[in-house]
Amino acid sequence: MKQNDPQFNRFGNLHHFLTLDGLDKQTLTGILDAAENFTSVNDKSIKNVPLLRGKTVANLFFENSTRTRTAFELAAKRLSADILNIDLVSSSTKKGESLLDTLRVLESLQCDMFIVRHSDSGAAHFIAEHVAPTINVVNGGDGQHSHPTQGMLDMFTIRRHKGEFENLRVVIIGDIKHSRVARSGISALKTLGAAEIRVVAPNTLIPEYVEELGVKVYSQLEVALKDADVIMGLRLQNERMNSATVPSMGEFFRTYGLTEDRLKLAKPDAIVMHPGPTNRGVEIAANVADGKQAVILEQVNYGIAVRMAVLSITMGHGEAVREAEMAGTT
């Protein structure tokens, strides 16, 4: 499998981090274990480790983001890398410069890693395919396809609270159709062996043939929540509300909002997750978002450790390639 997967280099090492689809259990567990080690770094007063000293990481965000960009920035800094934030939303691409031209310019700045967010599904794959072979590409979210570091921090949060995945019943609520977070979560949960994944939303937010991803589709939240161990909310984008997709915020909350009463249908120790930012009173009631079962802020915190793990693992292998090429063993 690794031979055909563009994420792996010819030595079989994880070189890019583009999607969780196709990564095996061992790879995912390896990232979670590494993140576990980094959480202790984050708890110390001096939070830096010198793993990526002298490396330059560029945040290439073609789409607006504060939270994800900041989390990557912090992760890179704690690994002692230099980080370059390049705002591409308002600059070059608007002037008609092609994505590839932009990449070539950034390549010439001698960066070692690109962290990419782009509104096109497959953009991270495209960039990984076309950058110089020494550069690592990490997907910070591509269109509706994948958000693999979010997926991993979700898995990390679940593992911290629940230990193993095998017996877990996970419910994902809301806009599955347009959500890269949902796709990455589903893919990782399948690989890590979750017992059951349920998705629940009005049919307008469920993509075609989603069952083939290995999930069960529910239309009634109350039914879907029964005996759940993990409940994942998704952000409903503003443009989906008051449209032909969802008639109103009010109706969505009435039918699919996670309230205290509904939460009682899940297991008493169920955790409530959300990638943020939450729409209180739309996907989730304020008292649930702030309640004792919510782990939403923990997710944000773990996001740093997980991204430190992803950056160091992919970059570590990048180093091996560079050394091999310099030694002429190619």
Partner 1 sequence: MSQATNNSTIKGARLIDSAANVDTTEDIHIVDGIISSKPATDSQVIDATGMVLSPGFVDLYARLREPGLTRKGTLKSECHAALAAGFTTLLCSPDTHPVIDSTATVELIRQRAQQGGGARVIPLAALTTELEGQRLSEIATLRDAGCVGASQADQPIADTSVLLSAMEYAATFDIPLLLTARDPQIGGAGCAHAGAVATRLGLPGIPAATETIGLARLIELCRDTGCRLHISRLSTARGVEQIAAAKQAGLSITADVGIHHLFFTEKHINGFDVNFHSSVPFRSERDRDALRTGVTDGTIDAICSDHAPHDTDAKLAPFPSSAPGLSAFDVFLPLLMQLPALLDTPLSKILAAVSTNPSRILASDKVASTLAVGETANLILFDPTTPVQCSSAKLLSQGSNTPFLDCDNADIHLESGLPFSGKAHTAWVRGEPTTLSQ
The first and second tokens of residue 113, run together, are: 């890693």
Sole binder of partner 1 in the list 86, 135, 210, 308 (CB under 8 A): 210
CB-nearer residue toward partner 1: 145 or 169: 145
Question: Exposure pattern of 277-301 as b/e (b: 16+ CB <10 Å)?
Answer: ebbeebbbbeebbeeebbbbebbbb
Write out the H or E segment, with its range, that includes residue 83.
Answer: strand 82-87
CB-nearer residue toward partner 1: 104 or 322: 104
Should residue 183 be labelled a site residue for partner 1 when binding is judged by CB under 8 A?
yes
Residue 129 Cβ vs partner 1, minimum distance, rounded to whole Å: 9
Which residues lie closer than 8 Å to 250 by C-beta, 6 or more apart? none
Distance CA 15, CA 317 (A): 6
DSSP 111-137: -SEEEEEESSTTHHHHHHHHS-TT-EE
CB-nearer residue toward partner 1: 125 or 240: 125
Cα 69 to its chain centre, rounded Å, is: 12
Write out the H or E segment, with its range, that includes residue 325.
Answer: helix 296-326
Sole binder of partner 1 in the list 112, 142, 154, 229 (CB under 8 A): 142
| Binding segment toward partner 1, per CB under 8 A, in 81-89, 141-149, 155-163, 222-230 | 141-149
Place of tokens 């009634």: 220
Residue 207 Cβ vs partner 1, minimum distance, rounded to whole Å: 4
Residues in 92-121 that interact with partner 1 by CB under 8 A: 98-100, 118, 120-121
CB-nearer residue toward partner 1: 103 or 315: 103
Q: Are 306 and 153 in contact (CB under 8 A)?
A: yes
| Binding segment toward partner 1, per CB under 8 A, in 81-89, 138-146, 163-171, 319-327 | 138-146
Specify which residues 90 forms β-bridges with.
none
Sole binder of partner 1 in the list 15, 145, 159, 274 (CB under 8 A): 145
Distance CA 198, CA 177 (A): 14
Residues in 18-57 that interact with partner 1 by CB under 8 A: 21
Which residues lie closer than 8 Å to 163 by C-beta, 6 or more apart? none
Should residue 213 be labelled a site residue for partner 1 when binding is judged by CB under 8 A?
yes
Distance CA 150, CA 69 (A): 12
Should residue 122 be labelled a site residue for partner 1 when binding is judged by CB under 8 A?
yes
CB-nearer residue toward partner 1: 185 or 257: 185
CB-nearer residue toward partner 1: 46 or 209: 209
The first and second tokens of residue 237, run together, are: 């984008």
CB-nearer residue toward partner 1: 78 or 178: 178
CB-nearer residue toward partner 1: 126 or 218: 126
Residue 105 DSSP class: H
Should residue 279 be labelled a site residue for partner 1 when binding is judged by CB under 8 A?
no
Residue 130 Cβ vs partner 1, minimum distance, rounded to whole Å: 8
Q: Is 276 exposed, middle or buried, given 0-12, 13-18 or 19+ CB atoms closer than 10 A?
A: middle
Sole binder of partner 1 in the list 27, 85, 143, 280 (CB under 8 A): 143
Residue 272 Cβ vs partner 1, minimum distance, rounded to whole Å: 25
Residues at the contact surface with partner 1, assessed by CB under 8 A: 6, 21, 98-100, 118, 120-123, 125-126, 130, 142-146, 180, 183, 207-210, 212-213
